[in-house]
Structure 1
Amino acid sequence: MTALPRVPDDAPGDVEEPLAGGNVSAGVVRVGDTVRRPAGPWTPAVHAVLTRLADVGFRHAPRSLGLDDRGRHVVEHVPGVMAHPLPDGVTAPGLADVGRLARDLHDALDGWSPPPDARFQRVIPPDREDLVIHHDLAPWNLVLAEDRLVLIDWDGCGPGTRTWDLAYAAHAFVPLAPADAGGPGTDAAAAGLRALADGYGLDDAGRERLARTLAPRTWSMHTLLEHGHRTGTQPWARLWDEGHGGFWRRDAEWVEEHAAALRAALTA
């Protein structure tokens, strides 16, 4: 794979500001108008994806700038607030807007072939491999910038399907969870799911696929954490110990219990 460009050394006076948030963000810092994150074998592939998005005018992702003198991946820092946790007084992004962002992303990458030696870091096998997707399209990876929504944390991107990405986004943004665990209630969840699909412009076949994929995609996170717990693989073992496995099981069971209502909202 083509070597990544080198980013000039930090300007005098630049300081490193650790960035918190997410579950696997150790070592991520802000330096001036850039973000630096630990690189890995997947970084050239991520750079290729972000370069493709920039080349086609997709405005909802940071630009990838290359590697710094310490070998860290350097991307554009986009000013704004995170959609999770949402600060007081800030309105959450509309579900139709999230759907449109997902559609624009998938359209921008559909038909594009990654470099033949690309090495992606996917932690969960998708249902199929049709195009490159984000794999973690969620509020904790969404920046509410002044003039746009910006999707960050691309280290886990890789081949998958539109439905796989959209099912994960539905769980995270609606959210698909019991009312006593932060969910909006069955009727509101069904309406939110439909708004997400409407914003995406999902056709009838796509709505059927999404309805069938909601539970398996949610269970896939529980499986990942359970496997991490059994094998000691981090950070999944730590997240299991913190109770995340139980949260995903609870939500997957809720989605299965309310599958008929969710499907009806999508396909009516």
Structure 2
Amino acid sequence: MDRSTFYKLCDLLKNHGGLKESKNMFAEERVAIFLNMLGHDQKQRLLVRRLRRSKETITRNFRQILRCVLRLHNILLKTPEPIPEDSNDERWKWFKKCLRALDGTFIDLRVQEIDKPRYQSRKGDISTNVLTACSVDMEFTYVLPGWEGSAADSRILKDALLRTHSIKIPRTYYLVYVGYTNGEDFLAPYRGQRYHLKEWKDGYKLRTSLEYFNMKHSATRNVIESFYEAETHADIISSCCLLHNLIRREMKFDPLEPLLDIDYGRQFMNGDDDGDNIDVVESSIAWTL
């Protein structure tokens, strides 16, 4: 985050997030401490020593700024827009009216010993399963954190559709991974066929129309020590997604983008609950050739 974006964030937090100066710290200092802990894994004890503040002050400040950032979700989360009929984008033109990509991701976290069985993923890691949806320019349009690592992707998607602040799908569709149900509004790849882009490297040639579809689907969909309780972890994940959108919006050059492999792609929701939105996941033969 550059200096200009930092001050933009501070202004948003003051005007829309309820950020105020504390008795002993300016608002900008409070935000800087929060970002250091969030973005650079700065431990509380290090900040206590460096800033000569009490641990209680550092902890209270982090939680207060976290709540302020979450209040910006209506501003920083992007409203999804379907791919237009006349799109000639080489990655997205194959999927007219698509609302972009939707997927789950596992994020490691620490939980109490009694909760570890629920948060253990199929790979054995202690993690949380986060459902996210992204736009073509790599901004988040929806985030649902908080589910245990043992929860199946399809179960989390069903929950996202039934929540009060649900993901809105106005009779279009999302591209989804093979773990989700292939229905009218969620287009998954063909099972039993090559899918990941790395499988087409080293001169491999496409053999069937199903492999060709999976290749296009994969190229498009891949756009997307302090202890805190699980609820706070969920808030931190949402906060990171909002800050990511702000950086993508305000900075002409994203310093992390060169680290991405261009071959692999470039719970909050904006808008009111109106129109004919999807509220159930059902299997369908609509996408069958």
TM-score by length of 2: 0.26
Q: Which of structures 1 and 2 has the bigger CA Rg? A: 2
Instruction: Tell me which of the two structures has the higher relative contact order, counting C-alpha pairs closer than 8 angstroms and 6 or more residues apart.
Output: 2
